[in-house]
Amino acid sequence: MRIATYNIWNHETLWQERIEAICQEVKRIDADVIALQEVRSDEQDSVAHDIAEQTGYPFCVFHPYPDSPDEGLAFLSKVPLSSVEAIWEKGVEECHFCATRVTLTFGGQEWGITNVHLNWRSVSIREHQMRAVQDWLSKGCQKSIEVLCGDFNDHPQSTIYHDLSDVGWRDVTTFVAEEPLPTLDVKQNPYLQSSHLTQSERYDWILIRSEWKDVEIQDVNVFGDMQTGTDIVPSDHYGVVVDVIVN
């Protein structure tokens, strides 16, 4: 299964041009499931449904944030979804409105895929959010293959990353020999060159946890960067895409 995560940046800058470029990249990487963050919406619809229509994804789910319905989290999928839910449907505190989840069957295995977008302002809020997400997942029905992905707004040296590693989540980049590339690129991404960041960081992750022994990780890459096929950079983040092989 090819899985991707992508923060598409809900910002007015070159909006129409960027949406066209986002669609080009989504079509190019051709993921089976893609988790989207910062998905713009209005009273009528979300941009996720527009992207799905333009890129040929038959299944699209979007959850607007209850406290900020002009934005939310989305999944695009080529595979029928068995269930969809949002963490805020479970009565958590407003500051924990940060995750959605789908389940599906692919390759004869049941998969659970969780999409997160953590708070960018505060380390302590991010840590509380991640504990809430882990508690939410622990109370649900865990699938044989679990994927946790999104914009964590933190780096791999953070407490969040280490806490997730301690409970069995593995960053897909640790399965391959290549040096992982940043997803916030202050050197090359034109939208970040006047930002508060002083160095490039890897804030967008795909993590996996599996009871299935024969899971192989292949071809972890970033997309939406300067080297790919669009004339402009689609977002202030680069996406991450991975091939997960179940033997």
pTM comes to: 0.95
pLDDT at 195 over 80: no
Q: How confident is the model at residue 246 (pLDDT cuts 50, 70, 90)?
A: confident
Residues 145-192: pLDDT tens digits? 999 999 999 999 999 999 999 999 999 999 998 899 999 999 899 999
Average pLDDT across the chain, whole number: 93
Write the single-letter amino acid at 107. G
Give me the pLDDT at residue 27, please. 96
| CATH 3.60.10.10 is held by the domain 2-246 | yes
Q: Can you tell me whether residue 98 is helix, strand or coil?
A: coil
As a whole number of angstroms, the distance between CA 56 and CA 58 comes to 6
For residue 103, give the H/E element and its range: strand 99-106
Tokens of 158: 């953070």
Domain locations in the chain as residue ranges: 2-246
Give me the pLDDT at residue 149, please. 98
